[in-house]
Structure 1
Amino acid sequence: MRALSFLTLVFTTCLSLNTSLRAEAPPNVVLIISDDHHWGDYSFMGHPEVKTPHLDKLASQSLLFTRGYVPSSLCCPSLATIISGQYPHQNYITSNDPPGSSAGKLKQNDPAFLEGREKFNKHMDQLNTLPRVLGKQGYVSFQTGKWWQGDFTRGGFTHGMTKGSRHGDDGLKIGRETMQPMYDFMKMAQGEKKPFFLWYAPFLPHTPHNPPDRLLAKYKDKTPSLTVAKYWAMVEWLDETCGDLMKYLDDNGLAENTIVVYVTDNGWIQDPEKPKYAPRSKQSQYDGGLRTPIMVRWPGKVKPGKTEALASSIDIAPTVLRAIGSEPPKEMTGLNLLDTAAVDARKTIYGEIFTHDSQNIDVPGASLRWRWMIDGDFKIIVPDSKNEPDAKVELYKITSDINEQRDLSLTQTERVKELTAKLDAWWKP
């Protein structure tokens, strides 16, 4: 009898455990993507003036990669990389606009411009995007903010704000004008008892730099440059909206079972004289345009901490999919950022910079300007002879020369040769 009672107890406990595991709801996923934001312009990254209390809090609760990167320093290809888990040369979305757009040859309502954008959109249609893969696992998804590839449905979202214009239309209201559409979506998902994926990519701190007066007033006396003060205030405005979003998760009982990921689409160095970006930032091959903090928060599942291990936005999609228990598609070659051993073992990451206007939408190599790679302590930049005929190979010891001021390519020729061969083995058009 005692033996029988013991077996009954074991059976009941196992049954209860299995039922509990089955009943655990899949985690929600919130992806925050800031827009045109330098990697150092946060309090938690050491900026002496910019205040980001809400992102500081998120960073303290997250696994924080202080040396995160995006492969390409331009909005459209960077966002396409994040959502697809593929490099631009793999997903064919390399540039912002079709051939001839920036030269004034095409206007955005010209048939040739619209045809070119549709070619980009068709490339997106072919991809196993993160929301598309999550949808097969029962997730609903919502697009807000920046989005380049036509209607939100082209990316696999079930719900969204962008109807189809160049980079966001109605979606660009999020953060700047309202947060309500996201709240309505999450309330709907809760009501239907469905896990959700939220793409929060506000047009912040992107130009126009028109922050609320109350925020601009905080920075006017901290810099002689009004353009810099406006940009700093825009960063704090972004931070406030992130705080509002985190508060909604807390207030509605969603925080504990929601994975929050943070990244920026590309860097920005504010020109102190003009309302534009300075060199060596957006569109460039330098860390000012490529580096970003990357954070992953999942209370009770991901231990908070800070690491200087290399991370890439190419890792975000496979990380999310593995976290929910799903195998990423084979074309997603990034690492699972929650696999500490794999991340620590990786010493090399790659990237590529293309022309703002595509040279040929169906041939990625036609638009290439630079390929770059970080390998251990060193970063190599290799120009493409077609689009950058006057540029030279550059080599930096990036771990100590973080602003890339001392080019070592002429004194370390053997290292240049070795790293170039390694870069060629990754991708050479």
Structure 2
Amino acid sequence: MFLSWNQWVLAQEQPNIVFILSDDAGYADFGFQGSKEFKTPHLDKLAMQGLRFTQAYVSAAVCGPSRAGILTGKYQQRFGYEENNVPGYMSVSGAIGDDMGLPLNQKLIAAYLKEEGYKTALFGKWHMGNADCFHPTKRGFDTFYGFRGGARSYYEYDQNNKLIKKENRMERGFGNFEESELYLTDALADATTKFIEENKSQPFFVYLSFNAVHTPMEARPDDLDKFPNLEDKRKTLAAMTLGLDRACGKVINKLDELGLRENTIIVFTNDNGGPSDTNASSNKPLGGTKANHLEGGIRVPFVMSWPTHLQENTVYTHPISTLDLFPTFYNLAGGDEKQITDLDGVNLIPFVTQKYKNRPHETLFWKKEVRGAIRHHDWKLIRFPDRQAELYNLAEDIGETNNLAASNPEIVKELYKRFFEWEMTLERPLWMLKHLYEKKAIERLDTYRNNNIHHN
């Protein structure tokens, strides 16, 4: 039985917070999301022990900006972090190279939680800037074991697996570079369980930021052996996902072993849609891939579990955003999220405990330079640089196959106006892609559509 809202408020003590983020996973590539091919027993059990969200969104269709939104609780475009990874193939008109990163005038959730007495840790991928000034230990994290960049090998760098970039070396704390002989997904789980053991007597915040299942496509041989009926990238992805699930299980089991599970809220989600065209992930029944604004690029698996506080084996169907994690975590820690006036996320607890019956968000936005999207209620408008906008009714067409723009001009006009009003509140981008790469993004979308679905 879960507590009512009033009972929860009266009984509240600072819970531990474990936030687990996977990288480039497909929407459909988990057992709790319906997969019959992939094996994810630990995450399936977590979903049974909590809430599964069917309409969870990220704030960007690529990983860096999505993570910036999570860490700040606001649309990253509001502080100039356009929907482009750092560093990248940028125009010389803005910040380039190591000058690119999550702006230093933004205070991150880790810093807020430290002020509430939490021990804070980041394990895994950072991708918020390579320069020392952007380092996690200077942004509110007491502990860091991971790498500064956006992707790296799952195996140690040595004479056989040669390191190219400093930002992809494993680092413990600040400036202490080392390598592990373990498969990286396992190494991150081991570091997390050690941190939990060492900090079990005080509230802690763990951001377990896996690079799994991002490329390179590297899996443990024993995990590959468990999928004899799959082939090529799909087989490797299944094995990598099994490794991800095993790592999550290690962390959850450690909480159980230490008697911390009932006072720990766990959230598992993914940073953007699966890049099915590069890693063979599946976003079905959604259309689209990572890097575009179809549902398959921005809707993600999402599980929240907190025994005795949140009802088990429940499905929450209203749209939410990963922007909501910041105010939710801060509120649980004892802070007043309403005092932070520029947050775009909302505290989800009163919604999932049914104190509030309405939607957490009436409207959600996405923007990458000229491209953009708005969801208002169940209508979604997608803006393109080279063609007319498209309109979909997500309540009736989750796969976005029936473009209703021509038959609903007034709705198109209304959503354009809402999008423009929001766009006028944003900062100019601190950096932008060369046009060549935006062209490639459009071509990628068209290739996906030509290979998968026919649009009216």
Report the alpha carbon displacement of residue 130 of structure 1 after superposing the two structures with TM: 0.9
Q: 1:162 to 1:53 in 2, by over 3 A?
A: closer
Which amino acid is 1:332 matched to?
Answer: L
Q: 1:96 aligns with which of 73, 85, 90?
A: 85
CA distance in 2, matches of 1:47, 1:164: 32
- The alpha-carbon distance between structure 1 residues 334 and 219, as it changes in their structure 2 partners (threshold 3 A), is same
Cα separation, partners in 2 of 1:406 and 1:72, compared to 1, 3 Å: same
Name which of 188, 192, 196 aligns with 1:182. Answer: 192
Which residue of 126, 135, 141 maps to 1:147?
A: 126
Query: In the superposition, relative to structure 1, how do residues 276 and 296 fare at CA in structure 2: closer, same or farther (>3 Å)?
Result: closer
Aligned with 2:202: secondary structure? coil
Identify which of structures 1 and 2 has the higher relative contact order when contacts are C-alpha pairs closer than 8 Å and 6+ apart.
2
More divergent stretch after superposition (288-297 vs 132-141): 288-297
Change (3 A) 1:351 1:38: farther
Q: Which moved more, 1:416-425 or 1:246-255?
A: 416-425
Distance 2:408 2:305 in 1: 40
Alpha-carbon spacing, 1:220–1:289, altered in 2? closer, same or farther (3 Å): farther
Offset of residue 252 of structure 1: 1.2
Deviation at 1:232, TM superposition (A): 2.2
The answer for unaligned runs of 5 or more in structure 1 is 1-20, 106-110, 355-367
Task: Give the conservation status (yes or no) of the 8 Å contact 2:363–2:377.
Answer: no
Match of 1:44 among 7, 18, 32: 32
Query: Which of the residues 255, 260, 264 maps onto 2:266?
Result: 260
Letter in 2 for 1:316: L
* Cα distance, 1:277 vs structure 2: 7.3
Q: What is the aligned partner in structure 2 of residue 352 from structure 1?
A: 366
Give the structure 2 partner of residue 397 of structure 1: 393
How far did residue 426 of structure 1 move? 2.6
1:303 equivalent among 311, 317, 335: 311
Q: Which residue of 1 aligns with 2:176?
A: none
TM-score in terms of structure 1 length: 0.80
Distance 2:335 2:73 in 1: 14
Distance change >3 Å, CA 156–CA 425, structure 1 → 2: same
Deviation digits for residues 59-90 of structure 1, max 9, x if unmatched?
Answer: 11112211100010111111111111011112
Q: Secondary structure at the match of 1:339?
A: helix
Task: Tell me the equivalent position of 2:108.
Answer: 129
**Structure-2 change in CA distance of 1:334 and 1:112 (3 Å):** closer
Q: Is the 8 A contact 1:132 1:155 kept in 2?
A: yes
Amino acid at match of 1:216: L
Equivalence for 1:196: 204
Relative to structure 1, is the Cα distance of residues 236 and 351 closer, same or farther in structure 2, using a 3 angstrom cutoff? farther
Which residue type is aligned with residue 337 of structure 1? L
Q: 2:378, 2:395 within 8 Å by CA — same for their partners in 1?
A: yes
Query: What is the DSSP-based 3-state SS (H/G/I as helix, E as strand, rest coil) of the residue aligned with 2:411?
Result: helix
Q: Secondary structure at the match of 2:239?
A: helix
**Regions of 4+ moved over 6 Å:** 276-279
Q: State the SS of the aligned residue for 2:31.
A: coil
Offset, 1:374: 1.9
Give the drift of 1:164.
4.4
**Quick check: 1:315–1:337 contact (8 Å CA) kept in 2?**
yes
Q: Return the offset for 1:295.
A: 2.1
Q: After superposition, what is the alpha-carbon deviation per residue over 1:137-178, rounded to whole angstroms, capped at 9, x for unaligned?
A: 111100111102342123311111246456664269752435
Describe the shift of the 1:407–1:302 C-alpha distance in structure 2 as closer, same or farther (beyond 3 A).
Answer: same
CA distance in 1, matches of 2:108, 2:32: 31
Cα distance in 1, alignment partners of residues 49 and 40 from structure 2:
14
1:423 aligns with 2:419: yes
The letter of the residue matching 1:254 is L
Q: Partners of 2:395 and 2:33 in 1: how far apart?
A: 16
Residue number in structure 1 paired with 2:322: 313
Q: Offset of 1:416 from its aligned partner?
A: 0.8
Q: CA deviation at 1:181?
A: 1.8
Q: What are the residue-to-residue correspondences of 1:59-74 with 2, within 5 Å?
A: 59-74=47-62
| Counterpart among 348, 361, 382 of residue 337 in structure 1 | 348
Conserved in 1, the CA contact under 8 Å of 2:255 and 2:261?
Answer: yes
Partner of 1:289: 297
Change (3 A) 1:401 1:217: farther
Question: Residues 220, 402 of structure 1: CA spacing in aligned structure 2 closer, same or farther, 3 A cutoff?
Answer: farther
Q: What secondary structure does 2:358 align onto?
A: helix
Counterpart secondary structure, 1:179: helix
Letter in 2 for 1:151: H
Q: Which has the larger radius of gyration?
A: 1
Alignment partner of 2:193: what SS? helix
Identity, % of aligned pairs?
Answer: 28
What one-letter code is carried by the residue in structure 1 that aligns with 2:52?
Answer: L
**Equivalent residue, structure 2, for 1:408:** 404
Q: Which residue of 2 aligns with 1:31?
A: 19
Shift of 1:276: 7.0
Count of residues in correspondence between the two structures: 372
Contact 1:309 1:343 in 2 (8 A): no
Of residues 218, 224, 243, the one that matches 1:237 is 243
What secondary structure is seen at the aligned counterpart in 1 of 2:373? Answer: strand
Shift of residue 346 of structure 1? Answer: 4.1
Task: Specify the code of the residue in structure 2 equivalent to 1:282.
Answer: K
Supply the AA of the counterpart residue of 2:196. M
Alpha-carbon separation, structure 2, partners of 1:138 and 1:307? 31
Alignment-mate amino acid for residue 182 of structure 1 = T
